Amino acid sequence: MALWGGRFEEGVGELTQRFGASLPVDKALYKQDIAGSIAHASMLAAQGVISQEDAAAIREGLKAIEADIDAGRFVFDINDEDIHMSVEAELTRRIGEAGARLHTGRSRNDQVATDTRLAAKALAKELMQANASLRHALLDAAEAAGGAVLPGMTHLQHAQPVLFSHHLLAYVWMFTRDFTRLRAAFDAADASPLGAAALAGTSYPLDRKMSAEALGFARVIPNSLDAVSDRDFLLDLEYACSVMAVHLSRLSEEIVLWASQEFGFITLSDAFSTGSSIMPQKKNPDFAELIRGKTGRVVGDLVQLLVTVKGLPLAYNKDLQEDKEGALDAAHTLSQCLEVMRGMVSTWTVNADRMRAVMGKGHLAATDVADYLAKRGMPFREAHAVVGHLVLAAEKRGVDISELPFEEFKAASDLFEPDITGALDLDAVVAARTTEGGTAPARVAEQRAQAEVALKADEASLTYLTPVVEMGQGA
């Protein structure tokens, strides 16, 4: 009979027992559950609700159970339904009556909310660390790229030349924002529901702040109904995961393009490529493609939770059992994707000569030719039209605008002088983009320094996070 079975004459059927069990998922939270129980027992003893002797026996028993799970010696029984009942039943079996006193003044509702918040903090911190590692790899790759220039694109068409390092730094800033979202998810989870009991609080003289401090929570949730029913913090975590997965997917798509024969901008390491079972010449960017594919899985986890919580009345409902699997999956999937992306970026070879070779297509200097005329007094819209005609003339000749003879320029406008050839040099075009955030080498160097400062600050902030109950491995 279940721990709650006193009111029932019959046990749950085997089918419904398995259907309703959350143990296959929430056993991953055994460290959080045990930490919460130890904090609760210590608080009960401090408040005189249970004896110090019982609290000591509970602590020792729970630590022994944790050690057994860590070592893989603990046998989980699906009849226990969830991790809370599994641990409590084993504790009572080991230490007797004292174990049965552990649940005084609490419900599985506030217990599961506590476990889940502790897990969310641990997962957010792990992802912040992985995020920082990838940013290091991208910053290193940006520095190693030196003066390599590639065609910057809009609509996947050649637009203007940019430093490859500038392009990579765009992703660094995306992942910097992702770190901020993860930190916000951590902070949202950093509040204790323990002591809210089932939904209304309890008549026992609990010290909620004491148990919150013992578990490393920054604060106590002020409303007992909200404490047991809120899953906003998981939505925050899964949203942060989804946005970062989208950023990884965008970078993966570019890697797939860059590694193709048509582009050839990078060569992936063999360690991050695969071959074909039938075509021996193939070297496929499978892992970039897989990261791109796994994005749908992470986003799907967010959508699942949004739909789960959208119509729930207060307070706790069994639907909320479905909150953890998606969050764990999203975090673990994203963690793997971050590690693989870090490896790809750290080991690829940049083919700067190939990038340079394709720069003669797409009339990349056209905007600067228009700027040349505008700086000499021609309205930019008129200059735009003049250069458009020059591009058309170049295409009819089968050349790039930079290859047109000076006579063509002079025929298009008397404002052109022989120095127009300087405006057609792609390195000069890059160097001219000196506005803050632009692609000029000096500006990119400044930007890289700013990104490094932001990364150091983020890494330093991890050391000041409230204590985290790390995720276990033994389950």
19 and 96 share one domain? yes
In a domain? residue 430: no
Whether residue 14 has pLDDT greater than 80:
no
Q: Are residues 62 and 181 in the same domain?
A: no
Structure tokens at 375: 């700086």
The reply to whether 337 falls in a domain is: yes
| Mean pLDDT within 356-369 | 87
Q: How many CA atoms lie within 13 A of 302 on its CB side?
A: 20
Q: Which two tokens stand for residue 214?
A: 């013992």
Distance CA 458, CA 456 (A): 5
Q: Taking residues 427-439, what's their average pLDDT?
A: 94
> What is the distance between the terminal CA atoms of the chain, rounded to a whole angstrom?
24
Q: Could you tell me if 326 and 457 lie in one domain? A: yes
Q: Which domain holds residue 410?
A: 366-424
**Does residue 12 register a pLDDT over 70?**
no
Place 282 in a pLDDT band, splitting at 50, 70 and 90: confident
pLDDT > 60? residue 79: yes
What's the full length of the chain, in residues? 475
Closest alpha carbon to 122 in 460, 465, 475, 474? 465
Flag whether 410 is in a domain: yes
How far is Cα 331 from Cα 233, in angstroms, rounded to an integer? 13
Averaged pLDDT, 339-350: 98
Do 117 and 179 fall within a single domain? yes
Q: Which of 89, 104, 119 is the last residue of a domain?
A: 104
Residue 155 lies in a domain: no
When pLDDT is averaged across residues 432-461 and rounded to a whole number, the result is 97
**CATH classification of the domain holding 320:** 1.20.200.10
Whole-prediction pTM: 0.93
Q: Is the peptide bond before 245 cis (omega within 30 degrees of 0)?
A: no
Regarding whether 283 and 313 lie in a shared domain, the answer is yes
Catalytic annotation, pick one of 155, 158, 211, 229:
155
At 144-159, the pLDDT tens digits run: 999 999 999 999 999 9
Q: 131 φ, ψ to 5°?
A: -60, -45
User: Are residues 321 and 349 both part of a single domain?
Assistant: yes
Residue 201 phi, psi dihedral angles, 5° rounding: 85, -165
Using 50, 70 and 90 to split pLDDT, how confident is the model at 362?
confident
302: pLDDT strictly greater than 90: yes
b/e 269-305 (16+ beta carbons within 10 angstroms → b):
eeebbeeeeeeeeeeebebbeebbebbeebbebbebb
Q: State residue 51's pLDDT score.
A: 98
- Confirm whether 440 is domain-assigned: no
pLDDT of 9 above 90: no
Tell me the backbone φ, ψ of residue 149, rounded to 5 degrees: -120, 135
**List 51, 260, 269, 276, catalytic entry:** 276
Residue 359's pLDDT band (cuts 50, 70, 90): confident
Examine the residue annotation and report whether 247 is marked as an active-site residue of this protein.
no
Local confidence band at 58 (pLDDT 50, 70, 90 cut-offs): very high
CA pair distance 276, 229, nearest whole angstrom: 50
In this structure, the answer to whether residues 284 and 298 fall within a common structural domain is: yes
Pair 396, 412 in one domain: yes
User: Which pLDDT band holds residue 281 (cuts at 50, 70, 90)?
Assistant: confident
pLDDT tens by residue, 386-395: 999 999 999 9
CATH of residue 404's domain is 1.10.40.30
pLDDT average, residue stretch 53-60: 98
Summary mean pLDDT of the chain = 94
pLDDT at 277 over 90: no
pLDDT tens digits along 201-249? 999 999 999 999 999 999 999 999 999 999 999 999 999 999 999 999 9
Co-location of 82 and 46 in the same domain: yes
- pLDDT at position 81: 87
2: pLDDT strictly greater than 80: no
For range 57-81, the mean pLDDT: 95
Strands 157-163 and 149-154: antiparallel
Whether 452 maps to a domain, the answer reads: yes
Is residue 332 among the annotated active site residues?
A: no
Query: What CA–CA distance (Å, rounded) separates 457 from 60?
Result: 39
pLDDT above 80 for 423: no
Mean pLDDT to the nearest integer, 281-297 = 94
In a domain, 269, yes or no: yes
* Cβ atoms < 10 Å from Cβ of 48: 10
Domain membership flag for residue 312: yes
> What is the pLDDT confidence band of residue 7, given thresholds at 50, 70 and 90?
low
In whole angstroms, give the CA distance from residue 39 to residue 118.
13
Please name which of 459, 427, 431 lies closest in space to residue 445, comparing C-alpha atoms: 431
Residue 22 in this model has a pLDDT that exceeds 70: yes
Overall average pLDDT of the 68-95 stretch: 94
278 or 355, which is more confident? Answer: 355
Count of domains for the chain:
3
